[in-house]
Structures are given as C-alpha cells and as structure tokens.
C-alpha cells in the first residue's frame, strides 16, 4: 500500500501522470504478476492514450487559463485516475484498499501542492514553477514504479 500512497502524493500534483506511468509499466510487463491493474490498462493503445493525456495536462498547466487543481472536477479526476493507479500498484487481493489510498491521497495532496505553487508563482512565474513541478512528478512516478518490488516488501 505504500506505493499506492506515494503515487497518490504524485497524483495530487498531476492527475494523469500516475495513470500513464502505471499503464506504460503494465504494457511493458513491469508490474508484479499479482498486481491489481485492470487488464485493459496494459493494452498498448491505453498506455499511449494515457501518455498523450499526461503530456497534454503538463502543457495545459503552463497556460494562464489553466484551472486550479483544487476545482471540483479536477479533484474528481485526480481521485479517479489515482484510484486506478493505486489499485494497479497494490497486490490483487488488496486492490480496493490500494484504490482508496491512491485516490484519497491524491485529493488531499492537491491542496498543499496548490498552495506551494501559488506561493512560488509570483516570484518565479507560472511556466518555470510548472516545469519544476513536472520534473518532480515525473521523477517520483518513475521511481515508484521502478522500486515497486522494494516498496511492496517494506509495507
């Protein structure tokens, strides 16, 4: 469940990156055999689609018209995508708990992430802070999937 929690922290900052990362790992056969991922998540077309959505989200985040991540539809999207990612990272027998942990953590993590970004934007601007956030999100999501066997052994 630690991996589901950590991915929820990442998902609080970007809704689609955790789902894309997990889908790509599933398509490449890099998730443990007892993962809770729906089979559809491992399809190459789904991996490509989630990657495209994640890239679009990152690009859109740099726009002045980008909505705050804490608007209700944004929170709902974060909950849903991170619940799926959380379930996929959990053992099959615990996928409902993984889904709950991933989704709830993403919603809760959205608020401090939003506050930090809002505090940094007057000094550094929207685009630079977005790129820093993107780098942290990508590094975090990749590390979680890469270290999944070790994270599962800890918990």
pLDDT digits 0-9 by tens, 40-88: 999 999 999 999 999 999 999 999 899 999 999 999 999 999 999 999 9
**pLDDT value for 139:** 97
pTM listed for this prediction: 0.93
Percent of the chain scored above 70 by pLDDT?
99
- Dist CA 151 CA 6 (whole Å): 10
Angle, helices 16-27/2-11, rounded to nearest 10 degrees: 130
Classify burial at 5, counting beta carbons within 10 Å of its beta carbon; exposed 0-12, middle 13-18, buried 19 or more. buried
> According to the 3-state scheme, what is the secondary structure of the chain?
CHHHHHHHHHHCCCCHHHHHHHHHHHHCCCCCCCECCCHHHHCHHHHHHHHHHHHHHHHHHCCCCCCCCCCHHHHHHHHHHHHHHHHHHCEHHHHHHHHHHHHHHHHHHHHHHHHHHHHHHHHHCHHHHHHHHHHHHHHHHHHHHHCHHHHHHHC
Count how many Cα atoms sit within 13 Å of the Cα of residue 111 in the half-sphere of its side chain. Answer: 5
As for how many domains the chain has, the answer is 1
Residue ranges making up the domain that contains 66: 2-154
Which tokens hold the place of 78? Answer: 């974060």
């Amino acid at each position: 469940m630690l991996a589901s929690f950590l991915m929820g922290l990442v998902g609080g900052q970007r809704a689609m990156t955790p789902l894309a990362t997990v889908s790509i790992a599933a398509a490449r056969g890099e998730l443990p055999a007892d993962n809770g991922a729906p089979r559809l998540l491992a399809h190459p077309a789904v991996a490509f689609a989630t990657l495209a959505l994640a890239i679009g989200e990152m690009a859109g985040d740099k726009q002045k018209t980008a909505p705050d991540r804490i608007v209700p539809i944004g929170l709902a999207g974060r909950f849903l995508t991170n619940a799926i990612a959380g379930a996929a990272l959990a053992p099959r027998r615990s996928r409902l708990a993984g889904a709950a942990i991933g989704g709830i953590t993403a919603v809760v993590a959205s608020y401090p992430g939003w506050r930090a970004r809002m505090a940094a934007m007057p000094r550094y601007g929207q685009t630079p802070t977005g790129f820093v956030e993107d780098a942290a999100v990508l590094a975090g999501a990749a590390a979680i999937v890469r270290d999944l066997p070790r994270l599962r052994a800890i918990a």
